[in-house]
A and B are shown apart, each in its own frame.
Chain A
Amino acid sequence: MFSPDGTRIVFTSSREGNPELYIINKDGSGLRRLTNHPAIDTSPTWSPTGTQIAFTSDRAGQPQIYIVGADGLNLRRLTTAESYADRPTWSPAPFNEIAFAARTGPGYDIKIYDLATGMTRQITFGEGSNESPAYAPNGRHLAFTSTRTGRTNIFTIGRDGRGVRQVTRDGNNFTPSWSN
């Protein structure tokens, strides 16, 4: 995933045997390892300022959302009330929140963590399984996947949970991402 200024990429690699996060400049130089843990570290997303990265790790047993500085320091766990959380997506400014997929039964729903208040709100409610949220560049909408119409398709939804629209209709469709 590109940093907000477009100069760096954060990605998951198992080049050293275990899925870890790495940062590299877009010209391929300056590779450095961001995480170092025998658990799975994956699904990174940049903060709007490019100074922090939220990601998923199962270092506590089940996948949860964590935040770490882009320099690898100041790691902290963000989600504590979820049994399983994955695919964080950091909103663009002026919104200051992180959306993610949380297990809410046999499937998942999209929740949003407000970094200013520490409060979490839910924007999908059990219509199929809802995963892989991705903030639009304007921050007002998210793309996500849902099985609500049968197979896995891409939908968009307002950050207030309104205005669901189906984008794909054929086959199974995973892990959406927006153009800028």
Chain B
Amino acid sequence: MVQLTSMRAYHLVIVIAILLTAAGCSRRKPPVAQPVPPPAAAPPATAAAPPPPPVRVEEALPVPAEPVGEDSIGGRSLDELNRNSPFKPVFFDLDSAELDDPGRAIVGGNAELLKKYSAWVITVEGHADERGTAEYNLALGERRAVAVKTYLISLGVAPDRVRTVSYGKEFPFDPGHNEAAWSKNRRAHFVITSK
């Protein structure tokens, strides 16, 4: 009897959950559906003509996650933000703290994000691969972090919103002992410290 009751309650919960999910989806659709079609429609223009449109609209449905995610960024906790960071890391050549063109493009994108979320304060962590000594790598990591901060400032980000720290080789992103790992470890990593 107790089991039956709990089974019913369980099914009821599932039904409510489905209804809520459906309601949630239908609520989310309008704001999302509008921005989606344009980007989805752009590529097919170069391809075939009439048949795709209806299909493309259907395909576009999973894509909304992006605009929804971006809009919800501001509402996430610091932990959530840093776990799935909207900032991209910047990578460096061996024993170098110079930003190359791809590096500048990444920092530029991160700067735009900082302008959009103007209350965010970040720490740029400088890291190095394992081949240098601990002490030298601390200085090298510091240089990398400072290079990124300097470029962010040149793009209009307020200096007091960017802190720097170096961890040298103490926190590798990839613990491997080859170039594939080292290239990932020579990096500047962005952490949001307050918002």
A161 smallest CB distance to B (angstroms): 20
Main secondary structure of the interface of B (DSSP, over half): helix
- Scan A11-28; emit 1 where CB is below 8 A from any B CB, else 0: 010100111000000000
Chain A residues near B131: list those with CB within 8 A: 106
Chain A residues near B150: list those with CB within 8 A: 17
B47 smallest CB distance to A (angstroms): 51
A175 CA / B139 CA spacing, docked (Å): 13
- Scan A83-119; emit 1 where CB is below 8 A from any B CB, else 0: 0101100000000000001000010100000000000
- Say whether, besides A14-B146, A17-B146, A174 and B170 are in contact (CB < 8 Å): yes
Chain A residues near B140: list those with CB within 8 A: 40
Chain B residues near A14: list those with CB within 8 A: 139, 142-143, 146, 164
Which of B128-145 touch A at CB < 8 Å? 131-136, 138-140, 142-143
A66 smallest CB distance to B (angstroms): 13
A46 smallest CB distance to B (angstroms): 16
A63 CA / B143 CA spacing, docked (Å): 15
- Scan B107-137; emit 1 where CB is below 8 A from any A CB, else 0: 0000000000000000000000001111110
A-B contact count (CB 8 A): 53
A70 smallest CB distance to B (angstroms): 20
- Scan B69-102; emit 1 where CB is below 8 A from any A CB, else 0: 0000000000000000000000000010000000
- Across the interface, A19 reaches (CB within 8 A) one of B134, B139, B170, namely B139
Q: Is the CB of A132 within 8 A of B143?
A: no
A131 CA / B168 CA spacing, docked (Å): 14
Chain B residues near A58: list those with CB within 8 A: 95, 136
Q: Count the B residues whose beta carbon is within 8 Å of the partner chain — how many?
A: 16
B116 smallest CB distance to A (angstroms): 28
- Scan A141-180; emit 1 where CB is below 8 A from any B CB, else 0: 0000100000000000000000000000000101100000
A43 CA / B168 CA spacing, docked (Å): 13
Q: Is the CB of A40 within 8 A of B134?
A: no
Q: Is the CB of B146 within 8 A of A42?
A: no
B148 smallest CB distance to A (angstroms): 13
Shortest Cβ distance from A147 into B: residue: B130
Q: Which of B131, B133, B142, B146 has the most CB of A within 10 A?
A: B133
Q: Is the CB of A40 within 8 A of B143?
A: yes
Chain B residues near A106: list those with CB within 8 A: 131
Q: Is the CB of B133 within 8 A of A19?
A: no
- Across the interface, A63 reaches (CB within 8 A) one of B136, B164, B170, namely B136
Supply 16 further A-B pairs (C-beta < 8 A) apart from A145-B134, A172-B170.
A14-B142, A14-B143, A14-B146, A17-B146, A17-B150, A43-B135, A58-B95, A58-B136, A63-B132, A63-B136, A84-B132, A108-B133, A131-B133, A132-B133, A132-B135, A174-B134
26 pairs of residues in contact across A and B, judged by CB atoms under 8 Å? A14-B142, A17-B146, A40-B136, A40-B140, A42-B135, A42-B136, A43-B136, A56-B135, A84-B132, A84-B133, A86-B133, A86-B136, A87-B133, A87-B134, A87-B135, A101-B133, A106-B131, A108-B133, A131-B134, A132-B134, A145-B134, A172-B170, A174-B134, A174-B170, A175-B134, A175-B135
Could you list which residues of chain B lie within 8 angstroms of chain A, going by C-beta atoms? Answer: 95, 131-136, 138-140, 142-143, 146, 150, 164, 170
